[in-house]
Amino acid sequence: MAPFNSSSLAVRWSWLALVLLGLSLSAGARAQDAPAENPDADRFVARGIALRAEGKDGEALQAFQQAEALDPSSVRVQIHLATVYQALGNWLLADEYLSKALARQNHPYINRHRQVLEDAKRVIDSNIGRLEVDGDPPGAEVYLSGRALGTLPLAEPVRSTVGSYVLEVRSPGYYPSRRPISIVGGGLVRESVQLQPIPLDEPVHPTTSAGAADARFGGVEEAPPNRVWLTWTFAGAAIVAGTTAAGAVIFREVHAERWNDNTRCLESARTRAEVCGEERDQVETAETVAWVSGGLAALFLAGAAVNAFAFQPDPGSGSPSAGLELQGCGVGLAGASCFGRF
């Protein structure tokens, strides 16, 4: 196989960190797996491992799920399900299966792969955070970017993957509350929400008769489509995506250089792919991440521009954002954020 060209880009849809760790786990499992207690389940496990080696994680998941149906208590099956869910970006299910497997402290399979599994657990934990929501009125419905979490007060913190979300709390007869929040890896985010009741004499627009709260934010007249916080959320997301793309390009160049190194990847008895196949996979994955992150950065930037300039509120219209003065922005390990004052 010829060396990589700096302009060549492969089409692979997966997250860089997920795929790299998933590859290391599946490689370790292939090298040391013991036969499953259920022969039929073992055949599905073997098929799933082969499919993962071909980069077919979706099909591999189906094979591992069939193995689980035949042998639901198998630690080996649970670990393979955890790694494939991780590769597919489903951190919550990856954590569920890995935690279930690691609970079997003295299991021989766990002991044999303990170091790799503990590394995987740390990576998973760094991509999951918790959200705690309390406030009034009791029974108000809580949503996280449209996903129903329960009602106030939430019985326990809700686990969620790292990222930016919109927290919404609503209840009949009250103005709803909507606010952007960020879930950080391994952290606990606490939010307190106090909904304000809608006055009995409040006029209701015919189009919002199903709930005046959907047209009001905390008793303030409904604002035009522009939202300053939404503009900066898009801008922050664009910064994060652009940073990710740049990091992926750098990562790609490092591993491409290793792949092209004849002293490292050429042996008389084996091909370059056999010696340094992992380097090739990492290059291709980095290329995909660069493409996807770059595209997302452009989309988020366009969204920020449209929200900022295409829907300007009228001066003096009473928009909740009319008095917001931007103070600054910053970028951290968990993402980007901007802050201001009224």
Residues 6 or more apart whose CB falls under 8 angstroms from that of 254 comprise none
Query: What would you measure as the largest C-alpha separation in the chain, in angstroms?
Result: 87
Contact 165, 335 (CB under 8 A): no
Q: What angle do CA 289, 93, 242 make, to 5 degrees?
A: 20
- pLDDT value of position 202: 67
Average pLDDT over all residues of the chain = 76
Higher per-residue confidence, 225 vs 178: 178
* H or E segment to which residue 156 belongs: none
Contact 340, 243 (CB under 8 A): no
Higher per-residue confidence, 219 vs 257: 257
223 pLDDT more than 70: no
Q: Are strands 188-194 and 128-136 parallel, antiparallel or unpaired?
A: parallel
pLDDT tens figures, 265-322: 777 777 777 778 888 888 889 889 888 888 888 888 887 777 777 655 554 444 444 4
Tell me which of 1.25.40.10, 2.40.70.10, 1.10.3080.10, 3.90.1150.10 is the CATH number of domain 16-125: 1.25.40.10
Confidence of residue 260 (pLDDT cuts 50, 70, 90): confident
Could you write out the DSSP letters of every residue in 49-98? Answer: HHHHHTT-HHHHHHHHHHHHHH-TT-HHHHHHHHHHHHHTT-HHHHHHHH
Confidence of residue 248 (pLDDT cuts 50, 70, 90): confident
Higher per-residue confidence, 277 vs 222: 277
- pLDDT value of position 204: 52
Quote the DSSP letter at residue 45: H
**Superfamily (CATH H level) for 128-215:** Carboxypeptidase-like, regulatory domain (2.60.40.1120)
Q: What type of residue sits at position 138?
A: P
Q: Pick from 26-40, 55-69, 242-256 the range whose average pLDDT is largest.
A: 55-69
CA distance 289 to 11: 10
Q: Which residues on adjacent β-strands are paired with residue 318? A: none
Q: Which residues on adjacent β-strands are paired with residue 182? A: 164
- pLDDT value of position 179: 95
190 pLDDT more than 60: yes
CA distance 290 to 296: 10
pLDDT tens figures, 124-179: 989 999 999 999 999 999 999 999 999 998 989 999 999 999 999 999 999 999 99
Residue with tokens 């300039």: 309
Quote the DSSP letter at residue 214: G
Phi, psi of 238 (to 5 degrees): -65, -40
C-alpha distance from residue 116 to each of 15, 28, 52, 160, 166 (Å): 19, 8, 17, 24, 35
CA distance 177 to 142: 10
- pLDDT value of position 321: 42
Could you write out the DSSP letters of every residue in 267-295? Answer: -SSS-HHHHHHHHHHHHHHHHHHHHHHHH
Q: Which residues on adjacent β-strands are paired with residue 166? A: 180
CA distance 87 to 101: 18
With b for 16 or more beta-carbon neighbours within 10 A and e for fewer, the 232-259 pattern comes to bbbbbbbbbbbebbeebbebbeebbebb
108: nearest Cα among 87, 79, 86: 79
